[in-house]
Structures are given as structure tokens and as C-alpha cells.
Amino acid sequence: MKALFISSVCTLLFSLQAYSQESIKFGKIDIKDLEMTTYEPDSSAEAVVLWDEGTSQLSYDQRKGFYLVFERHTRIKILTKQGYDWANVEVPLYHSGQDKEKVSGLKGATYFLENGKMKTVKLGKEAIFDEKVSENWDNKKFTLANVTEGAIIEYQYRIDSDFIFNFQDWSFQRNIPTVTSQYTAKIPEYFRYEKFMQGFHPLSDIKEDRETENIILSYKENADQGYVKKTNYSTESLSFTKNVTTWLAKDVPAFREEPYMSNLNDYISRINFELASTRYPNQPVKQYMGTWESINKTMLESEAYSTDLNTSGFLKEDVSALIAEAKTDEEKIQNIYHYVKSKVKWDNRNRMYPTSSFRKVLDDGEGSSADINLLLVNMLRKAGFESDPVLISTRGHGMIREYFPLSSQFNYVMAVVDIDGNYLLLDATDRSLPINLLPTRCLNGQGWRVSKDRAGWVGLNTKGNEGYSAFVEMKIGENGSLGGKIDINYLDYSASNMRNRKLREEDNFKKYIEESRGWAVSTMELKGDDNIYQPFRMICEADANNQIENLGDLIYIDPFIVGKVDENPFKLEERQFPVDFGTGQSYNYVFTLEVPEGYKVESLPQNISMSLPNNDGKYTMISALAEGKIMVRSSFKVTKPLFSGPEYLYLKQFYAQMVDKQAEQIVLKRID
């Protein structure tokens, strides 16, 4: 029997062709970079990455086999005080059981000019410490000292990892500009990693090459020769090819976070790696990336999605009581849904697997998304419904890439139930939402239905909107004040937000309204604040003196006491990534004003009606004077929650015109 007993003793590397890539030497600083005061392509930048180089490769150790080595070298120019935070660096490290990723070769320095000469302050051991982040992740943290405006910071480190599935991804883009970012991956022929690029900044260059590596394997073999036991030693040379790819990005602009983005990490320029399969010499292929169907099968075979979802007999009595008097399937589902929602409070943890038994979850009255929604599936099945779990990725976790069948893309589970030939998606974690509305964090593309017979993708859509209907009746007082009745019906997701706000503010809700709106509220009445199937209605008597200005013989009134859009949220000249509202938008507003005696209408906002292409959005404003009353009616609707990059210009222009329109005022003039 042969056994490997010493590590590899030599490696021979050579390139198949002339191959060049950029590189810089640690500590060799160009004086021009130190003298730089602003970065010309982006004068607003707080800092700029001068150099960012990474290399990941699979190396071999005879005692433990192949392992990952990642090396990084980064140099950043600090331009303003706001950029000082770039001197605080975190290196994430994965660990599982006794195995953990380890950092070595860590060094850093700060460079700055003093009396025209470069000074260097090296990273000290006292500035390096460890931080526990979660069950499987830690951070190695360090802070570079003596950072000032104009300084350059530089650091370098290496990570050794036994987790070959954790091949380092690489971001070419940050929220500060980057001059040069370069990443090299060296992957032996025995490994197949799927690679996918994301983002919109084009790469400057991609180079592909090969290296041949020779390793010496040593064996020992025990042999019986009569009464003599003998150990024979032998060696074997193994040669294999490494595929080497280098990606280079130059002059990468800062990634600016814009409104209505689901997750900025989905859109920065980045390359991602996923281990698809391995095939070692004289061994069969081992698949790591299968198909969605194989993932479905694995989930169904897990205890949580097989045994747990179909057992818990103690729930039968509760289910029978809940559906006993229900006249329709809709009522039965609703009764079970509200029972789970009322009994178990969400603990703000996103999970795919339950953390406790259903009995314990009910006893504790608190649980994760998986605890709550898998309990819901279990009880719906006991009521005779076809119900299954649906795996999703929340908006904060990132989009699902359907061409990469990996369960790690999911971080959350909800429920689905079939009714009258259709399916209804359910999530019982948010007590402020009715049964037909999913939490906005869940509105993110598609989810995978885990089922033996009904598996597949389901759209995470909603019929609900953000919005309200508001009615405002105002009068101008003798002292020039503007006051009256404000009646707002908040709908769907806006109603949920207001209920949660009232819950947070408790007795200070009136004060919150006054401070956030600029009103002086004398009376307030709330309706539907404890009924999630009704709009949240707020009726106020209030002065809104921030909306009126008296100038000599003229009175200027801003009619948009509620919901004025005074700034266009879309400021980029062009936007390549989508605009993701999450839900539709529907805002209707009616303002009326009695014209005071002794005044006439000098001007009113001009009427307008405009639409987005394909009627994906519409804005109208109508103003009129009749029987001594001014009326301004405004209606804003966006029916499509997701707009592509090419549609951005239309959306930007649409908002710009609405902002201009809502800036128009009512002008009254004193009658001589």
C-alpha cells in the first residue's frame, strides 16, 4: 500500500509565450503622485486608487492537496479629509470547523511630503487586530497611521485557504475612481470554475496564457519479506498545466450610488468565480455546480424540507380549529396565515433552513424567515392545500443569476399555495402587510419553488403600490397664515410604512408629522392604523405657513402641501444599470383654496399631461378657478416597477418636467 508522506519538493514554471503584465514595486512611490492635489478626471473624488493588483492561484501541498493562495497589493492616494476612512482596511476570512483562512505577509505604509521630502510611516503591529463577524466569517482589520490630505497609503498581504470553492472574486470598481486594477487567476487543468463578468465599465485588456507546473510526489510502501518487514520509498513526477488569465481595467470611474437601486454590488464592474467541477488524474469528474433540478432534489432530501414540512402532528388540532368555520379556501388560507403571523414575530434573520423545531418556535413566539414561512407551509398542507417553500434572494442579497445553478444565491424562503388554478405567494414575517402583499425586500426577480411535482421559477410580483390619495382644503387667514384640513389615505406599501412609523414613534407621531412636514397641527385623527386591510388615513387640521409668502400686494402659495417632488432624483447624464422602484407608484392629490376677499388670481400653474413610452407612467396637473375657489389636481402613476438602462433618459426627462411643473405657484394680487 503506497502512502504520500512528504510535501512537493520542487516546482518548474514556464510560459508558453512571451507574456507581460503590469506591476509596481512596494514602497517605490512616484513623487508626482505625492504632489497631486486633485484627480483631474474626477475633481470631486475624496481619494483615488492608484494601483490595485490581485493574484489567485491553486497551489499544491502533498499533505493537504490543492489549496488557494490569494495575494493583493493596493495603493491609494488620499485627497480630502473625507478620504481618511480608506486607511481603515478589512480583510474578510472564512472559517469552518477547525479549518480557517490565514493572513501572512501583511505590510503597509503611509507616505507623505514634509519640507519637500517623502516621509514613510510603516504599519505597526498595534494597529492590526481580529474581529468576529459571524458564524463563518472573521475580519483581519488594520489602520494605516499618519494619514493626511495628500498622503498615499499602501498595503500588501497574502491569504492561504483550504476552501477551493472560495476562489476570490475581484472588483475593478469602487465608489472612488481607480487608475489601474489588475487581476490574475491561475487555475490547474483539474479544476473548472465558471466565470462571469458584471458591470458596465469595459476592460482594457484580457490576456490568456498557460504555465506548466511539475511536482514531485513521494510515497512509502510497506512490504513483508518473511520475518523481515521492509519499507520501500519511491517518487513520482507529475506535470500539469495551469490556465492563466489576467484582466486589466484602466481609468475606472467611481461607482456612484443612485436612487432606486436594489443592490449596488450587482452593478459594479466585477468578475465572479464559482467552482463547477473537478477532475483529478485517474478519477471521475466531481460536479459541484449541478442544475436547478438537482438543487431541488437536494433540498427535498434535506430533513427540513422533507420530514419537518410533513410532520409536527401537534399542529393538526390547531389547523382543524382554524378552518372549521371558514366558508371558502381563501378564508382558510387567510386564517392560517394570520395565525402564524400573530403567533410568531420575525427576528429579522433571513434564513433558508429553520433554526428550531416548530413547537419551540411557537413556544418562543419568535423566529427567522424560514421558521415562520416553513411553519406556514406545514399548516397549509395539513389543511389540504398544495403548498411549497419558495427560495429567493432578497434585494439586499443581490439578484439571482439563473444561468448559475447555485443554492448559495438564495438567502430566504417564503411560501406558495395553489388556489383556483393560480398560485399565491405568502410571507408571514411583516405584521403590517395584508396577505396579498409581499415585503418589498422580497421583490427581487424570481424565486425557485421547491417541490417534487411543481418545481420551477415563480415571479416575485406584487399588485400593490407605493402611494396615496390626498385632499387638502386651505384658507388664508386675516394674519396671512395658510391653514385648513389635510386628509391623506396612504395605500398598500405606503400604509405599511406609516403604520410602522406610528409604531416606532408611539406618542410622538404628531410631533414627527409636524417636524417632517413643517406643519403646525392642531388636531389629528387616525383611521385604519390597526387594520392592515384598510388604508392608513390621517386627517389633520393644520397650518402650513411654509407654503405661503406675502410680498406687498402679492401672495405666493405653493399648492403642494403634500408630496411635492422638488428635486429630480435622476442626475446622471446616462445610467446603464436599471431603475428599480420595486413596486408601482400611484399618487393622487387635490388642493383647494378659497380666494380671500380683496384679492384676485394673478396666475395659476399651467395644465400638463405627459406620459412615458408604452404608457409605463403618466403625470397630469390641472388647475382651475370656479366660484371663488382654486383647485389644483395632480396625478402621478408609474405602472412598471423596473426600467432598463436605455429607458433611463425618458424617466429622467419625465421627472424633470414634473419637478418644473410642481414648482409653479398660485399668485394672488390685492385688488385696488
Do 628 and 530 form a contact (C-beta atoms < 8 A)? no
- The answer on 469 and 572 residing in a single domain is yes
Of the residues 257, 287, 317, the one at which a domain ends:
287
Do 486 and 469 form a contact (C-beta atoms < 8 A)? no
pLDDT category at 237 given cuts 50, 70, 90 is confident
- pLDDT, one tens digit per residue, over 523-562 is 999 999 889 999 999 999 999 999 999 998 999 999 999 9
Of the residues 287, 313, 345, the one at which a domain ends:
287
Mean pLDDT of 399-423: 92
Residue 307 lies in a domain: yes
39: CATH: 2.60.40.3140
pLDDT category at 9 given cuts 50, 70, 90 is very low
- The answer on 435 and 311 residing in a single domain is yes
* C-alpha span between 320 and 334 (Å, rounded): 14
- pLDDT, one tens digit per residue, over 590-601 is 999 999 999 999
* C-alpha span between 397 and 407 (Å, rounded): 13
- The answer on 480 and 350 residing in a single domain is no
pLDDT category at 222 given cuts 50, 70, 90 is low
- The answer on 168 and 92 residing in a single domain is yes
Mean pLDDT of 220-248: 72
Count CA within 13 A, CB hemisphere, residue 109.
Answer: 12
Q: Which of 3-12, 65-74, 424-433, 509-518 has the lowest mean pLDDT?
A: 3-12
Q: Going by C-beta distance under 8 Å and a sequence separation of 6 or more, which residues neighbour residue 348?
A: none
Which helix (H) or strand (E) segment holds residue 627: the answer is none
| pLDDT score for 63 | 80
* C-alpha span between 629 and 559 (Å, rounded): 13
pLDDT category at 224 given cuts 50, 70, 90 is low
Of the residues 220, 254, 287, the one at which a domain ends:
287
| pLDDT score for 4 | 33
Residue 216 lies in a domain: no
Q: Which of 11-20, 297-306, 493-502, 550-559 has the lowest mean pLDDT?
A: 11-20
Mean pLDDT of 186-203: 92
Mean pLDDT of 311-338: 93
Pairing of strands 584-594, 465-476: parallel
* Overall domain count for the chain: 3
Side chain identity, residue 473: E
Buried b (16+ CB within 10 A) or exposed e, 373-396: bbbbbbbbbbbebebbbbbbbbbe
Q: Domain range spanning residue 152? A: 26-210+243-287
| pLDDT score for 234 | 66
Q: In what order do the strands lie in the sheet with 178-188?
A: 2-4, 205-225, 228-252, 178-188, 47-61, 65-78, 152-161, 102-114, 117-122
Backbone angles phi, psi at 432, to 5 degrees: -90, 0
Give the residue among 58, 269, 56 at the shortest CA–CA distance from 183: 56
- The answer on 532 and 472 residing in a single domain is yes
564: CATH: 2.60.120.1130
Q: Rounded to the nearest 10 degrees, what angle do helices 315-323 and 369-382 cross at? A: 70
Q: Which three cell numbers, joined as nine digits, stand for 583?
A: 413596486
- The answer on 182 and 71 residing in a single domain is yes
- pLDDT, one tens digit per residue, over 651-670 is 999 999 999 999 999 999 99
Residue 66 lies in a domain: yes
Q: Which three cell numbers, joined as nine digits, stand for 509?
A: 407621531
Residue 224 lies in a domain: no
pLDDT surpasses 90 at 494: yes
pLDDT category at 227 given cuts 50, 70, 90 is low
pLDDT surpasses 60 at 255: yes
- For the chain, what is the mean pLDDT? 91
- The answer on 270 and 362 residing in a single domain is no
| pLDDT score for 98 | 87
- The answer on 170 and 146 residing in a single domain is yes
Residue 221 lies in a domain: no
Residue 235 lies in a domain: no
Residue 3 lies in a domain: no
* C-alpha span between 332 and 323 (Å, rounded): 5
| pLDDT score for 257 | 85
pLDDT surpasses 60 at 154: yes
Do 476 and 593 form a contact (C-beta atoms < 8 A)? yes
Mean pLDDT of 428-434: 95
- The answer on 419 and 353 residing in a single domain is yes
Q: Which three cell numbers, joined as nine digits, stand for 119?
A: 516621509
Do 487 and 539 form a contact (C-beta atoms < 8 A)? yes
- The answer on 449 and 472 residing in a single domain is no
Mean pLDDT of 415-443: 95
Q: Which three cell numbers, joined as nine digits, stand for 554?
A: 402679492
- The answer on 346 and 269 residing in a single domain is no
Is residue 362 classed exposed, middle or buried when 0-12, 13-18 and 19+ CB atoms within 10 A define those classes? buried
| pLDDT score for 8 | 35
Residue 232 lies in a domain: no
Q: Which of 14-28, 161-175, 210-224 has the lowest mean pLDDT?
A: 14-28
373: CATH: 3.10.620.30
| pLDDT score for 62 | 79
Q: Any idea which residue has 399565491 for its cell?
A: 424
- DSSP states of 202-244 as a string? PPSEEEEEEEEEEEEEEEEEEEEETTEEEEEEEEEEEEEEEEE
- 190, 406, 558 from 276: Cα distances, Å: 11, 10, 61
Q: Which three cell numbers, joined as nine digits, stand for 626?
A: 370656479
- The answer on 433 and 344 residing in a single domain is yes
- 395, 418, 510 from 645: Cα distances, Å: 18, 35, 41
pLDDT surpasses 60 at 412: yes
Mean pLDDT of 126-138: 91
- 96, 349, 393, 425, 598 from 407: Cα distances, Å: 18, 18, 10, 20, 72
pLDDT surpasses 70 at 2: no
